[in-house]
Amino acid sequence: MIKVKNISKSFGSLEVLKSVNLKIEKGEVVSIVGASGAGKTTLLQIIGTLDSATSGGLFISGRNISELSRKALANFRNQHIGFVFQFHRLLPEFSAIENVMMPAWIGSMSDSEAKTRATELLNDLGLSDRSAHLPSELSGGEQQRVAVARALMNTPDVLLADEPSGNLDSENAAKLHDLFFELRDKLGLTIIIVTHNEELASRADRTLRMSDGVFL
């Protein structure tokens, strides 16, 4: 599903990633752990096509990402990759269901189809009675579940999560962790999770440790 080949990333004279190689199979859950500044988030952003490598190659579902035009890359990201961040990044002026529908509005899905899909996702995540609420009217755990629903809106192949439970209490964090594995089992998602949470990391199929821009 994902192949990272000799990827390096530099910011000026600072080399953040150093010839990193990684293969991830379809349906695999991989956690990446390490100290702050190890390069975890930078690697996740490159895999998610939010940033580009200084050198090396990225292949997702057999496609060479470096060959895509900017427009094609944006379309690929919207259709194939879902993101969950530490902070939910919900738009405060939009309701829960409107936030979930946002990726579909960016894509080509009709409003009626998008609303049906968003409603199903919120129902699946136990938020059917919260769809009309603004983010400020939701609990932290509910906000993050809305963010997960938004990430799933366009039925992605890959879900990328960067410290997804870092802003939650232990009870809501545990529920979110369970949700990731339920999604893998139900949808066959390939999931990469950057986390400092050792309990979450230990549940993954593989745990990779980074230090100074390389895997140990």
pLDDT digits (tens, 9 = 90+) for 52-77: 999 999 999 888 998 888 889 988 88
Assess contact for 9 and 53: CB atoms under 8 A: yes
Task: Indicate yes or no: pTM above 0.95.
Answer: no
pLDDT confidence tier of residue 100, bands split at 50, 70 and 90? very high
Collect all residues with Cβ–Cβ distance below 8 Å to 162 and sequence separation of at least 6. 41, 44, 83, 84, 85, 86, 194
pLDDT confidence tier of residue 175, bands split at 50, 70 and 90? confident
Beta bridge partners of 8: 55
Q: Rounded to whole angstroms, how far apart are CA atoms 194 and 79? A: 22
Q: Rounded to whole angstroms, how far apart are CA atoms 9 and 148? A: 28
> Which whole number is the average pLDDT over 165-175?
85
pLDDT confidence tier of residue 101, bands split at 50, 70 and 90? very high
Return the DSSP state at 196.
Answer: S
Domain count, the chain: 1
pLDDT value at position 3?
95
Find the CATH number of the domain harbouring 27.
3.40.50.300
**Enclosing domain of residue 73:** 2-215
Collect all residues with Cβ–Cβ distance below 8 Å to 168 and sequence separation of at least 6. 140, 141, 144, 176
Q: Is the dihedral of CA 159, 165, 171, 172 positive or negative?
A: negative
> Which whole number is the average pLDDT over 148-161?
91
Collect all residues with Cβ–Cβ distance below 8 Å to 65 and sequence separation of at least 6. 49, 57, 58, 59, 73, 76
Collect all residues with Cβ–Cβ distance below 8 Å to 166 and sequence separation of at least 6. 86, 195, 196, 197
Collect all residues with Cβ–Cβ distance below 8 Å to 51 and sequence separation of at least 6. 9, 42, 45
Q: Rounded to whole angstroms, how far apart are CA atoms 43 and 85? A: 14
Collect all residues with Cβ–Cβ distance below 8 Å to 123 and sequence separation of at least 6. none
